[in-house]
Amino acid sequence: MIAFMPHVAVVTISDRSAAGVRTDRSGPLAQKLLSEYAQVSGVVIVPDDADAITAAIRDAVAGGANVVFTTGGTGFSTRDVTPEATMPLLSKRAEGVEAALRSNPEVPAAALSRGVSGVIECEGRRAFVVNAPGSTGGVRDAVAVVGPLISHITEQLADADHTAPAEQIGQSAHQRATHAIQSRGVSDGSDARVVIAEVTDQPIDVTALQEAVRDSQAGAVVLFDGRVRNHDDGKGVVSIDYEAHPDAGIVIERIARRCAHGSGAIKLAVQHRYGHLEVGDVAFAAAASAAHRREAFALLESAVEQVKAELPVWKKQEFVDGSHEWTGSA
């Protein structure tokens, strides 16, 4: 377990900023954003010169940096040489980080960044370096990728054992503590009680359904409220007529009991409507309760999906153009 706060050094690479003719905005922004994840030293500014960049990275590592975050010089211009200056220093590449930095569907130009990242070993010290683009947007995106990983990267650099499950890597201390508190309950695998399981031609009262599963032992009550929408597959919908098989009531009760078995939840209620429904009417609703949210959500999802897949209810959709369509789907 790392017993100290990781140290990050920020290096801005820009001829104009180094010459004092343009204010450096990317470096200070990186410093501010990275301070959420580590101690960050003052920004060092160097020109777009391979030797100067290499020296700045080496100096940062010698000065105690666990991570060196560079910004600028990753494009195609003649003076963009940050990757070329960084590459010879790398003993291990982090292609996954590089790919994440270049993968931004909202910013197509992100794919043009040539930045590299990985582990460097300098005078007996190991550190991680990442090349971010020089734009403020590029810095934000890069910190969003690298920032949450800094503690885990630092642990790996020190050859420490992994101290967090894979799904918690990248979470803040607050997030990890919250996860531990909220996940400490263990399901006992008991059966939930099915309080309602029926098909009905009467309007579904979702509030009553939700109240039906409340219990003094339940810390979580969750609800699915499925309504008739005004469109389907690009066509405007006016109404839906549901027809139920005579055994639909038996089937929905069987599904509910199957889902409730061993769920570790407390109560389950499911109702499906048949007959004529207008846009906005409730067609299918379900509610579940449990001591903890995980079991409640799991039971609700299971019940909804299985009713959708198995309940013998068919619907006739009336469209705004006067046409209609039958489907065998609840």
Provide the pLDDT for residue 224. 97
Residue 169 dihedral angles phi and psi, to the nearest 5°: -65, 130
Q: Tokens for 320, please give them.
A: 């705004």
pLDDT digits over 189-238, tens only?
A: 899 999 999 999 999 999 999 999 999 999 999 999 999 999 998 899 99
In the chain, the amino acid numbered 265 is A
Residue 18 dihedral angles phi and psi, to the nearest 5°: -65, -30
Provide the pLDDT for residue 2. 41
Q: Tokens for 238, please give them.
A: 């006016």
Q: Tokens for 62, please give them.
A: 């010698």
Sorted by sequence, the CB contacts under 8 Å of residue 77 that are 6+ apart come out as: none
Distance CA 257, CA 197 (A): 9
Provide the pLDDT for residue 124. 86
Number of H helices, E strands in the chain: 11, 16
- Which residues partner with 46 through β-bridges? 13
Q: Is 65 exposed, middle or buried (0-12, 13-18, 19+ CB in 10 A)?
A: buried
In three-state secondary structure terms, 96 is helix
Distance CA 30, CA 147 (A): 10
- Cβ atoms of 137 and 107 within 8 Å: the answer is yes
pLDDT < 50 positions in the chain: 1-3
Virtual torsion, Cα 25, 53, 21, 137, nearest 10 deg: -30
pLDDT digits over 53-62, tens only?
A: 999 999 999 9
Provide the pLDDT for residue 3. 47
In the chain, the amino acid numbered 147 is G
Distance CA 196, CA 269 (A): 4
Q: What is the pTM of this model?
A: 0.53
Provide the pLDDT for residue 233. 85
- Least Cα distance to 266 among 243, 241, 295 occurs for 295
In the chain, the amino acid numbered 232 is D
Residue 164 dihedral angles phi and psi, to the nearest 5°: -135, 145
Rg (the chain; Cα; Å): 29
